[in-house]
Amino acid sequence: MHNSLYFTTFDPLCDAPEVCGLCGTRPPVFHFELNSDKYQKEALSRKGFCCEICATRLLKVLERTESQEWAEEEAALAADDFDTAEFHQRLESLRTLVRSK
């Protein structure tokens, strides 16, 4: 399974709770679905409604899990004497994208 994070809009009059399902303090602005097969060494699947701040946190969770997987892949390739330059480029591209938001 690949890591994924989906955000969608919703009808606030019909579909959503009054507060974010993650922090419980702010009104939700997105419906989300997060699926990760390697979050803290176990599968994670979570859905709900979230505020803008928690949406940003979810993106960081996705970035961390993907970075961890890339680091593991890089270590395995390096152990087999493969060139890991492509992994460094992919990881830096992702970090640059996340930082620019």
Residue boundaries of the structural domains of the chain: 4-99
* Mean pLDDT for the chain overall: 84
Cα–Cα distance for residue pair 15/31, rounded to 1 Å? 9
Give all strands (DSSP E) within 1-101, no chain letters. Answer: 4-8, 30-39, 42-50
Residue 98 has pLDDT above 90, yes or no: no
Q: What is the pTM of this model?
A: 0.71
pLDDT bracket for residue 40 (50, 70, 90): low
pLDDT in tens, 45-81: 899 999 999 999 999 988 888 878 777 887 888 888 7
Residue 82 has pLDDT above 90, yes or no: no
